[in-house]
Every structure is written in structure tokens, then in C-alpha cells.
Structure 1
Amino acid sequence: MKVMRGFHFHRTRATFATELMRVALKFMPVGDAIQFVKEACLHQDESTTMKYIKFIETNKAMAEAADAFSEVFMGLAKGNSHA
């Protein structure tokens, strides 16, 4: 089926787990969020679930760095006299 080309179940599952973790962290303590996502994804080991927190943290740091670079590069940063 053409519609299924490029579809990888594991990527969909990883996206689900990442987004579930993002939401869980907004509404519960970290330990509870880890347990919640672990159970929802049927992970046997907590270290598997922890990878989603690490991914979220890394992704956030990369986005912040990219935004800061863009602001400076485009001359939008406060106090930037280089235009």
C-alpha cells in the first residue's frame, strides 16, 4: 500500500511516548510522570522511559540555542549594536 510507505510503528510509538511525557510532566511530579509513561508504554525497565525525559531536555536546549543564535544573527537581540 502506498499510504504505508515510510511508516515505522516504532517512530509513532516514540512520538506518542514523548508527547505523553511532555503532558505528564506538566501535571504531576517527575517520578509519577515516569511511572505513568512507563506503564502506558509497557516498558519493562524505567531506564527506557527515562530516555524520553532526556530527549525532551535535549530538544529544549537545542531549540533555545537555535533561537538565541537567530536573534543575534538577525540583529534582534537586546543591546545588539551589530546590524
Structure 2
Amino acid sequence: MSQKHSEQYKIIGQAIKKYRKQRGLTQEQLADRVSISISYLTKIEAPNCDQPFSLEVIFDIAEVLEIPAHVLLEDL
């Protein structure tokens, strides 16, 4: 991952974790509903996130969490 954007990935990952927990979903449940592996989601949500992810993944996660995708980007 580019060091240039590593902090932004971490912030988005923490937002995903926050809203997942608010919805009462486990990582396994969210990963299953988004059709990504649990290990991929775990890396996305890790406080030291080293996993880049696409807008498509953000859109899919937001849809499952029933929030607008921009909410995951608000703290950037």
C-alpha cells in the first residue's frame, strides 16, 4: 500500500468496524454478506490496516450496513 494514503485506509477501516458493531454484526457475518473473505475484512478493520481496498468494497459494505457510502469517509 502506498504510504501516501495509509492513514486514510486506517480511518475508513475504523469507521467500518464502528458501524458493523452498531448493527450487531460479527466480522464473519459482514464478510459473508459482502462476499469477501473474513481475513480480508479483518485486515481492513485492523488499527494498523495494511490492506488497500476499492470503492466497490466500500459501496458493498455501506449497502449491507444500510448507510450511505460517504458516511464511511466523513472522518477523512
For the criterion TM > 0.5, the same-fold answer is: no
Task: Give the structure-2-normalised TM-score.
Answer: 0.37
Which is richer in helix? 1
Q: Which has the higher contact order (CA 8 A, sep 6+)?
A: 2
Task: Give the structure-1-normalised TM-score.
Answer: 0.35
Q: Max radius of gyration: which structure?
A: 1
